[in-house]
Amino acid sequence: MTRPVFRFAPSPNGELHLGHAYSALLNARLARETGGRLLLRIEDIDIGRCTPEFEEAIYRDLAWLGIEWEEPVRRQSEHFADYAEALHRLIDAGLAYPSFMSRGEARAMIVEAEANGREWPRDPDGAPLFPTAERGLSSRERRTQIDEGEPFAWRLDIDAALAHASTPILWDEQGSGPTGESGRVTADPAAWGDVVIARKEVPTSYHLAVVVDDALQGVTHVVRGRDLFHATAVQRLLQELLGLSAPVYLHHDLVLGDDGRKLSKSRKDTGLAALRTAGLTPTDVTRMVGL
């Protein structure tokens, strides 16, 4: 029997907090209970915000918690060629286009449309969908802008992508979504609009790198916070478009602060390093997150 493969995939752009501890400890526990493997993946594609210091702190915090992971650790910044290959398959299939519109320009377009009484669609996080106007640029116009050095992002043409994939796209949810979704969940990637799948300088985005890596690493179980539940829809679509196998998903509860809000990397009080310095033990942390 093949062993289940779990992964914990933090980004080294801040300090790990209790929410990360919960996710890592839960992955480790499930791997132990199922005779599975636990991988650690460093999601450092955002080279501007990720630092070697935060990465070192991740290893230190996880080791302190008693978590053991397999070596070598996959660092996404070392695998851009893998993501570029997947990106080019999507471009060649006519499913991705370069988008030159800045966030400010997009915002202005949306404000104007709303001022004219148009209701602009929002994504599951409540943000307005990015305008799709540039789907229609000719290849000449695209070429000119690229040659002029304009900044751009590669966006997935969600309508073309859905026409290309066989729908409905489902996933197996062993945890639950924000409104209790579980079991066979129907993915609604269109809710996110034309998502960014790569940038001019970096041939990937979070979604693309995650699906490429989960497949390359043979991940069978994605266990992560409920805040990524809706993102799964985009990731399932990319898996279908790229012919990648789909893991099982388990979205778990988020650890909330005293104020009932999601923890963030900027809140020092729930950071693992701060808790350690304050004299807490790994057992205390395990108890605090309810495991």
Task: Give me the 154-193 binding string for ligand GLU, x by CB under 6 A, dash otherwise.
Answer: ----------------------------------------
β strands within 63-121, DSSP E:
74-75, 96-99
CB of 232 to ligand GLU, least distance (A): 9
Phi, psi angle pair for 255, to nearest 5° = -80, 125
Side-chain-facing half-sphere of 232: CA atoms under 13 Å? 32
CB nearer ligand GLU, residue 160 or residue 233:
233
Question: How far apart are alpha carbons 278 and 272 in whole angstroms?
Answer: 10
What is the spatial distance between Cα 265 and Cα 270, in angstroms, rounded to a whole number?
A: 9
Give me the sign of the Cα torsion angle 92, 96, 102, 105: positive
- What is the closest distance, in whole angstroms, from the C-beta atom of residue 212 to ligand GLU in the complex? 12
Label the pairing between strands 248-252 and 221-225.
Answer: parallel
Smallest distance from the beta carbon of 220 to ligand GLU, in angstroms?
A: 14
Which one, 10 or 193, has the nearer CB to ligand GLU? 10
In the list 4, 10, 19, 189, the residue contacting ligand GLU (rule: CB under 6 A) is 10
Interaction between residue 254 and ligand GLU (CB under 6 A)? no
Stretch that binds ligand GLU, among 3-11, 49-57, 107-115, 182-190 (CB under 6 A): 3-11
- How near is the Cβ of 209 to ligand GLU at its closest, in Å? 9
Binding flag, residue 224, ligand GLU (CB under 6 A): yes
When asked if residue 15 is in the footprint of ligand GLU (CB under 6 A), the reply is no
| Phi then psi dihedrals of residue 54, to 5 deg | -65, -35
Identity of the residue, 228 or 254, whose beta carbon is nearer to ligand GLU in the bound complex: 228
Which of 5, 9, 162, 187 binds ligand GLU (CB under 6 A)? It is: 9
Give the closest residue to 130 by CA, choosing from 159, 151, 110: 110
State the minimum distance, in angstroms, from the CB of residue 42 to ligand GLU: 9
- Sequence-separated (6 or more) residues with CB below 8 Å from residue 228: 251
In the complex, minimum distance from the CB of residue 63 to ligand GLU, in angstroms, rounded to a whole number:
18
- How many residues contact ligand GLU, by CB under 6 A? 7
Question: Is-contact 29 68, C-beta < 8 A?
Answer: no
* Rounded Cα gap, residues 130 and 8, in angstroms: 30
Tokens matching residue 270: 């729930």
Contacts to ligand GLU by CB under 6 A: 9-11, 43, 210, 224, 228
